[in-house]
């Protein structure tokens, strides 16, 4: 079993829809949770960064962390065609040399 | 502020050869981590460098090695290339190696092994 599970999709939604992306994890030591956006053949771009449980909002993006359920989510409101990309969840613990552990990524397509 | 840069962009090698990939960290960042991303997968941690020393390693064989220089730039070396080494190699820099610090990725080097 992988430490981080993420539905690979693809997920296709119409422009303007609310998108929900999710990851589950098994390692209770994870304390920092991130969402990265990756366009085809490019490096991941950091979208959201949260510590421990709770919500964080930034523009059209909202990240939620539920440590009791080992479940994290990213919501995208008013989705745009430019949001079409692969979304990677990532997490790590508090130690030094704290590597990021990624999900496989969910491919999102926002159609006109 | 300059972001993370990597070179070369693309590389084609044959099985058994050796390759060196380069990374310049973001201004002010002293920690560099390397990841391997196979097609359709999330990045996998290879190792991290801090103060010119290896500061943690993932589940990769010793033929994957690295260096960090006094200006915090870094190299990833892979010896005896195998077909499965074909992947996007990503470098990420951060202010420090602690868990609090965000990691920012470069555009990657796409390696093809024939």
Identify from B99, B109, B110, B111 which residue to disrupt to test chain A contact, counting A C-beta atoms within 10 A and taking the largest count.
B99
pLDDT level of residue B109 (50, 70, 90 thresholds): very high
Nearest CA in chain B to A102: B42
* Of residues A42, A51, A100, nearest to B45 (C-beta): A100
Specify whether the CB–CB gap between B58 and B64 falls below 8 A: no
Specify whether the CB–CB gap between B54 and B104 falls below 8 A: no
pLDDT (tens, 9 = 90+) of chain A, 112 residues, equals: 789 999 888 999 999 999 999 999 999 989 999 999 999 888 999 999 998 888 999 999 999 999 999 999 999 999 999 999 999 999 988 775 668 999 999 999 999 9
Asked if A43 lies within 8 A of B106 by C-beta distance, the reply is yes
Three-state secondary structure of chain A: CCCEEECCCCEEEECCCCEEEEEEECCCCCCEEEEEEECCCCCCEEEEEEECCEEEEECCEEEEEECCCCEEEEEECCCCHHHCEEEEEEEECCCCCCCCEECCCEEEEEEC
Residues of B in contact with A87 (CB under 8 A): none
Q: Render pLDDT for B1-32 as a digit per residue (tens, 0 to 9).
A: 579 999 999 999 999 999 999 999 998 899 99
Specify whether the CB–CB gap between A28 and A70 falls below 8 A: yes
Residues of B in contact with A99 (CB under 8 A): 33, 45, 48, 56, 58
* Of residues A88, A97, A105, nearest to B55 (C-beta): A97
Asked if B108 lies within 8 A of A95 by C-beta distance, the reply is no
Whether pLDDT at B79 is above 70: yes
Indicate the DSSP class of residue B92.
E
Separation in Å, CA of A25 to nearest CA in chain B:
14
3-state secondary structure of B54: strand
Which phi and psi angles does B84 have, rounded to 5°?
Answer: -70, -10
């Amino acid at each position: 079993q992988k430490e981080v599970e993420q539905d690979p999709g693809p997920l296709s939604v119409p422009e303007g829809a609310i998108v929900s992306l999710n990851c589950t994890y098994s390692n209770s030591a994870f304390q920092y949770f991130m969402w990265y956006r990756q366009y085809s053949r490019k490096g991941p771009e950091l979208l959201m960064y949260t510590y421990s449980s709770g919500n964080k909002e930034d523009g059209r993006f909202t990240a939620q962390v539920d440590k009791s359920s080992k479940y994290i989510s990213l919501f995208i409101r008013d989705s745009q065609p430019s949001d079409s990309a692969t979304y990677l969840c990532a997490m790590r613990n508090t130690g030094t040399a704290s590597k990021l552990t990624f999900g496989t990524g969910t491919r999102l397509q926002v159609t006109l | 502020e300059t972001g993370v840069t990597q070179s070369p962009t693309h590389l084609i090698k044959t099985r058994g050869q050796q390759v060196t990939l380069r990374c310049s960290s973001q201004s002010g960042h002293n920690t560099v981590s390397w990841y391997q991303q196979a097609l359709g997968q999330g990045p996998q941690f290879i190792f991290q460098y801090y103060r010119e020393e290896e500061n943690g390693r993932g589940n990769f064989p010793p033929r994957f090695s690295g260096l960090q220089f006094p200006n915090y730039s870094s190299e990833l070396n892979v010896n005896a290339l195998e077909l499965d080494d074909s992947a996007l190699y990503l470098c990420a820099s951060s202010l420090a190696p602690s868990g609090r610090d965000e990691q920012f990725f470069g555009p990657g080097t796409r390696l093809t092994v024939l």
